[in-house]
Amino acid sequence: MRTAKHTVFRLGCSSFLLLACAVACSAKAPDPRTVRGALGAMASALEARNGALLFRLMDQRARHAMASIVDARMQARKLIESDYPQNERFAAVASLGDGAEVRDAAGLFARRCAEPCMRALAEQIGVPTSEQSDGEEIVVRTARGTTLHMHAGKDLAYGLVWNTRALNAEREQASRELAQIRENADVYRRRRALESPRQP
């Protein structure tokens, strides 16, 4: 399932490299409990193309949504493969999308944020020049002229708001579809029980 695209600002890579260098040269690891620290960690992760680390620096709400999507899709896949008629399984599993093809939320993120996505994010991350509260989020202006939205999770670490709204909607859809697949699977099980030859 496709997710919403972010605006990409193409203003060169000097600020990104400056931020990444500042992080790499610092004796202390960047503290993601600050906006500057979280952006510094993202710059390092993007420069190294470290998808696993980058995933942990995304908005906690988006990460939790992806975890729920994968859980729902994997449950649905198991029900389809065990209870649906053989001739319906392939199409039913295919309809579940990439959430049924990975093991966890980090794997789903890796599928959806490959090199083009990382390159686009790298073009947006820069040294923060101002921060402003906007409800649950912080609007950050950077030296590159970009605008980012950050959100502090329950662990107080800031994460980049990344397709959060779309992922929450997808989680709700995956939950609804799982409920329907459970009902279908139950119908198929009962049908098989009725059609099974009775023992004398």
Say if residue 120's pLDDT is above 90: yes
pTM, to two decimals: 0.82
DSSP class per residue in 117-179 = HHHHHHTT---EEEEEEETTEEEEEETTS-EEEEEE-TTS-EEE--SHHHHHHHHHHHHHHHH
Residue 177: what pLDDT? 98
Question: Which segment of 2-11, 104-113, 120-129 scores lowest on mean pLDDT?
Answer: 2-11
Helix (H) or strand (E) holding 194: helix 164-195
AA identity, residue 118 = M
For residue 18, pLDDT beyond 70 = no
Residue 68 binned pLDDT confidence (cut-offs 50, 70, 90): very high
Which carries the bigger pLDDT value, residue 158 or residue 194?
158
How many CB atoms lie under 10 A from the CB of residue 198? 5
What digits encode the pLDDT tens for the residues 82-92? 999 999 999 99
What is the structure's pLDDT at 30? 82
CA distance 99 to 23: 34
pLDDT band at residue 199 using 50, 70 and 90 as cut-offs: low
Domain range summary for the chain, segments of one domain joined by +: 14-24+32-188
Q: Per-residue confidence at 1, pLDDT binned at 50, 70, 90?
A: very low
Q: pLDDT (tens digit, 9 = 90+) per residue, 122-165?
A: 999 999 999 999 999 999 999 999 999 999 999 899 999 999 99
pLDDT at residue 183, rounded to an integer:
98
Share of the chain above pLDDT 70, in %: 84
Q: How confident is the model at residue 198 (pLDDT cuts 50, 70, 90)?
A: low
The DSSP-derived string for 63-119 is: HHHHHHHHHHHHHHHHHHHHHS-HHHHHHHHHTTGGGGSSSSHHHHHHHHSSHHHHH
pLDDT band at 9 (very low <50, low <70, confident <90, very high): very low
